[in-house]
Amino acid sequence: MAWLDDLEEQLAFFICEQCELMPGHVLRSKTFYEKYQNWCSHRQEKVIPVRVFHAILEDCFGYIRQRKGSLQPYYMGLRIKECA
């Protein structure tokens, strides 16, 4: 499906440009998605719906959203770049 490839490509570009691997770092999923929305807004691109965003992160990139106790859902080992 070409439309899914486009979404994956857009999200891959966002991750490469705005994120970095950081072992042990916790990135709240809400913060991650809000940063993505802002990035899309500045680039005048269509925003992937939140459920699709998280599904692509897991299915295509292997980033699994976690939850521990009362903490909000988060991704482990990812962070937003300082200059981003």
Q: Is the pLDDT of residue 82 over 90?
A: no
Distance CA 12, CA 75 (A): 16
In the chain, where the domains are located: 29-73
CA angle 21, 23, 24 (to 5 degrees): 130
pTM (two decimals):
0.86
The percentage of residues in the chain with a pLDDT greater than 90, rounded to a whole number, is 70
Q: Please, which residues have CB within 8 angstroms of residue 11's CB and are 6 or more apart in sequence?
A: 36, 48, 53, 56, 57, 60, 61
Mean residue pLDDT of the chain comes to: 89
**Where does the pLDDT of residue 3 fall: very low under 50, low under 70, confident under 90, or very high at 90 and above?**
low
